[in-house]
Amino acid sequence: MIEENYRKVEEKVRAAAVRSGRQPEDVTLIAVSKTKPLSDIEALIRIGVREFGENKPQELKEKYDSVSQPVHFHQIGHLQTNKVKYVIDRAVLIHSVDSVHLAEQIQKEAEKRGLTTEVLIEVNAAGEDTKFGVSIDETEPLVREIAKFPNIRIRGLMTIAPFVDDPEENRAVFRAMKQLLLDIKSQKIDNVDMSVLSMGMTNDYEVAIEEGATMVRVGTAIFGERNYDI
């Protein structure tokens, strides 16, 4: 069931990549396993899936430490400074860096362990008050500040688009994110490569890919609805 769902999403990801004039391998599908049991992750590992996303640092830690073979876990949800220690040597990429304060803590923990931590800057592209992330205008200044940290490498940008009924409503948001990525890339800031654009979830990942996403984070379409009461 989960395996079939994954295959279907993977096929749509490929088709959208081709539609946007890219190679299917240029778009990474991250299976967002938050709240879901380890057995669901193991089912996907058996069919070769290697990229998983979690939004709670402690849950990422527990799953990372329990899986039967090494796979990549992405920290996609908001990260508090006191939780950096759980993900620093486990997350392959932290998608949700949105302040110098958080970057300072990542720097400290990464330096202590002799690591370079790869991060994305989270952008609140639609300016919703309920969302974490910096505004489009604040993004380049923040990138420039965080680029100074020697144990952090900025790989690109991430956004969580508004929850909408029709994914077409988010097309302009995704397009603005791609433009922002290109604008910052053209500045050639040291220690910043701007090759990753993480955007698109169950409801809108195809539109996000058409507009340039290189990573999509899909939960519900693969694992089914989440139950937060348990």
- Among 39, 49, 51, CA closest to 7: 49
- Assess 55 for contact with ligand PLP (CB under 6 A): yes
- Name the minimum Å distance from CB 228 to ligand PLP: 11
- Assess 5 for contact with ligand PLP (CB under 6 A): no
**Dihedral, CA atoms, 3, 5, 9, 15, nearest 10 degrees?**
90
- Assess 201 for contact with ligand PLP (CB under 6 A): yes
**Dihedral, CA atoms, 16, 19, 25, 29, nearest 10 degrees?**
-10
- Judged by CB under 6 A, the residue of 133, 156, 212, 219 near ligand PLP is 219
Instruction: List the interface residues with ligand PLP, window 136-175 (CB under 6 A).
Output: 160
Let me know: does 203 contact 164? Beta carbons within 8 Å.
Answer: yes
Using the minimum distance from each CB to ligand PLP, give the nearer residue, 191 or 202: 202
List of E strands, the chain? 28-32, 51-54, 72-75, 91-97, 117-123, 152-159, 192-198, 215-218
- 204 phi/psi in degrees, rounded to 5: -140, 20
- Name the minimum Å distance from CB 186 to ligand PLP: 27
59 DSSP 8-state letter? H
Contacting range for ligand PLP; rule: CB under 6 A; set: 2-10, 18-26, 37-45, 215-223: 215-223
- Name the minimum Å distance from CB 219 to ligand PLP: 3
Contacting range for ligand PLP; rule: CB under 6 A; set: 10-18, 60-68, 165-173, 213-221: 213-221
Using the minimum distance from each CB to ligand PLP, give the nearer residue, 2 or 151: 2
Instruction: List the interface residues with ligand PLP, window 60-99 (CB under 6 A).
Output: 76-77
- Name the minimum Å distance from CB 188 to ligand PLP: 29
* Number of residues that this document lists for the chain: 230
The CB-side HSE value for 96 (13 A sphere, CA atoms) comes to: 22
Would you tell me which residues interact with ligand PLP (CB under 6 A)? 32, 34, 55, 76-77, 160, 201-202, 217-220
